[in-house]
Amino acid sequence: MADVLLRDANEGSGVGTDARETEARLARNAALRLAVLLLRTAATATVPRPRQLAVLGPTQSGKSTVVNLLLGAEVARVSPLAGFTAHASGFLPPGAEHGAWSAPLFPGCDCVAYAELSPQRLNTYSLEPMPQRDSESPRLDAVVWDTPDVDSVHAADYLDGVMATAALADAHVVVVSKEKYADRSVWRLLTLLGALDRPLMICVNKLPRSDSDAILASLRARMQAAGGCVARATVVEIEHCAEPPTPRNSPDLVERMHRAADALLKSAPPLSSIHVGEGGLRLLARGWAEWTADARSRHHASREWKRQVNAGADAIEAGYVRDYLHDDRRFDALRRTTIELLTLLEMPWIAGPLKRVRQVVTWPVREGWRALRATVRGSESGETGRGRAVLATVIETQLTRLELEAVRSAGEVGPAAAAWRVMARALQSERSALSLALSDAAAAFEQRCDADIRSAAAELYAALRESPALLNSLRAARATADAAGLALAIKTGGAALSDVIFAPALLAVTTLLAEGALGSYMSALRQRLHRAHLEHLRSDVLGAAWIPALAAIGMRAEQPLPADMLEQADAALHDWANRSGGTIARPLAQGDPRAANGGRGDGD
């Protein structure tokens, strides 16, 4: 789960809107990376490996210079350019083997020779034996790591290497300068290292003799305020010189640095899986609310989107029931069932002649309606039933409502707004395709309703056959009304297709059905058609099209950390806290101003 949070942090670790935001984001992601890498280290803490000393610090503080002094040889490249060191570079003591202990700490990175490190390939690190030294002073029996800075604009690009060395190190050396010792970035780093509770040395480089007492007093005061291993840290001073110190020109400094580092390493107890894992859990618990604020906000947006989609489905169903099923002027399923029945009621010996006469008489009207549809709708296939027309209207209404809601939520402040922006853009860009897919679903829905109507007419005809007297009466009424309608149609030139041809027979048959023995059957049939329409709407349109299509849009903004995984992590951390006496920062509630800032305070 922590790896998922780390991937999410990597995706969002770019430069912020200002330097303060960038620095705060960098510190937040550094803590998360360190916690994840500690948990990885815990799994390999028992693997044999040399002792590790990590040299860390801000840009231009002189980290590479200190590495050379600790090694007694000029092996780390030194440059006055900010951000010159961009890779973690380890130097093995004599006789030490590379082993497999480093690979888990640098996932996705290749181990290459120090000379092959390039700013164009940041996914590399080096680990190689130290060359021959320039002095005969004792060697440190440890791997010494040179690391990139933790505070430059591009520090996010190589932060993993810094945190990996911090996680595996038995002891840490933090290099600061007169200009950097009070920086927020330095004290954020010291706070992180303090959570690990490992031996620490603070090396104050470029220290002017005139200001040394004031600077050291200020530094020690802040160290005492920080407490823990920071308060106990060894302080080593490197005086500012016209020429930067090297193993050649500063042998006494090399000796002093070696003694301090050797004592630091000897004070470090062997790392155990439990010790390393506890450090990772402490860091996770400390930043839990902050690191998961974005995930919780996105989950909240996802739940709200699903609620809005389901509310839209309910509104579509309610609108269809109100404007079609319960509207006697629009609900035509029973009328269409009766029309289907009319065909079945035709007397076989007169059905053929009447059909041919009807086709001739109604040809002008049919052609007129076809031309009208082509003019108004642009094609002959544009005709839809009343129910489908109502359905199309309520669907478009709900799509518009969803789009407006997404745009409104996208304009709010907070991490959830980013998720809403993704959904709003997706809905806007795919609106036409979505409308077409829903229209196809509505067409399939209409076909199933038509099949129900034909089936209902067949069942009604079968029921009529059990009452021969009523069946003959209906057939007689059908034939009489049909003949009268045709006679009138011939006199009027075939105008008013439905009123002239079908209405007389429809009225006669409907009246006989309503007033006859099948009156209760017709009422039950109406209710059954209502239920069938609703079932098809829920399955064919809402269940098969509306909800899946809009859920897919919501998935565009899905948080890579699933909600159930987050709940499991909450439970696991609380279990650890109960067993160890630790505390966990509570998740920020929706509406908390810090939650609106992604769990961030003022950036300090």
Domain boundaries, the chain: 48-271, 295-555
Neighbour count for residue 585 (Cβ, 10 Å): 17
Q: Which amino acid is at 460?
A: L
Which residue, among 62, 401, 110, 90, has the nearest Cα to 241 in the 3D structure? 62
Which residue, among 3, 1, 28, 2, has the nearest Cα to 13 in the 3D structure? 28
Question: What is the DSSP secondary-structure string of 459-501?
Answer: HHHHHHHT-HHHHHHHHHHHHHHHHHHHHHHHHHTS-SHIIII
d(CA 403, CA 409): 10
Burial class (CB within 10 angstroms; exposed 0-12, middle 13-18, buried 19+) of 549: middle
Which whole-number Å values give the CA distances from 40 to 125, 257, 510, in the listed order? 18, 31, 79
Let me know: does 123 contact 110? Beta carbons within 8 Å.
Answer: yes
pLDDT higher than 50, residue 349:
no
Q: What is the pLDDT of residues 372-420, one digit of tens each?
A: 555 544 433 344 578 899 999 999 999 999 999 999 999 888 778 888 9
pLDDT higher than 80, residue 302:
yes
Q: What is the pLDDT of residues 13-31, one digit of tens each?
A: 444 445 565 566 666 777 7
Amino acid 258: pLDDT: 92
Burial class (CB within 10 angstroms; exposed 0-12, middle 13-18, buried 19+) of 120: exposed
CATH assignment, 48-271: 3.40.50.300
Amino acid 603: pLDDT: 37
Q: Which amino acid is at 454?
A: R
Amino acid 284: pLDDT: 75
3 state DSSP class of 203: strand
Q: Which amino acid is at 94?
A: P
d(CA 377, CA 433): 20
In percent, the amount of the chain with pLDDT more than 70 equals 68
Angle between helices 333-345 and 431-465 (to 10 degrees): 50
pLDDT higher than 70, residue 306:
yes
Neighbour count for residue 409 (Cβ, 10 Å): 20
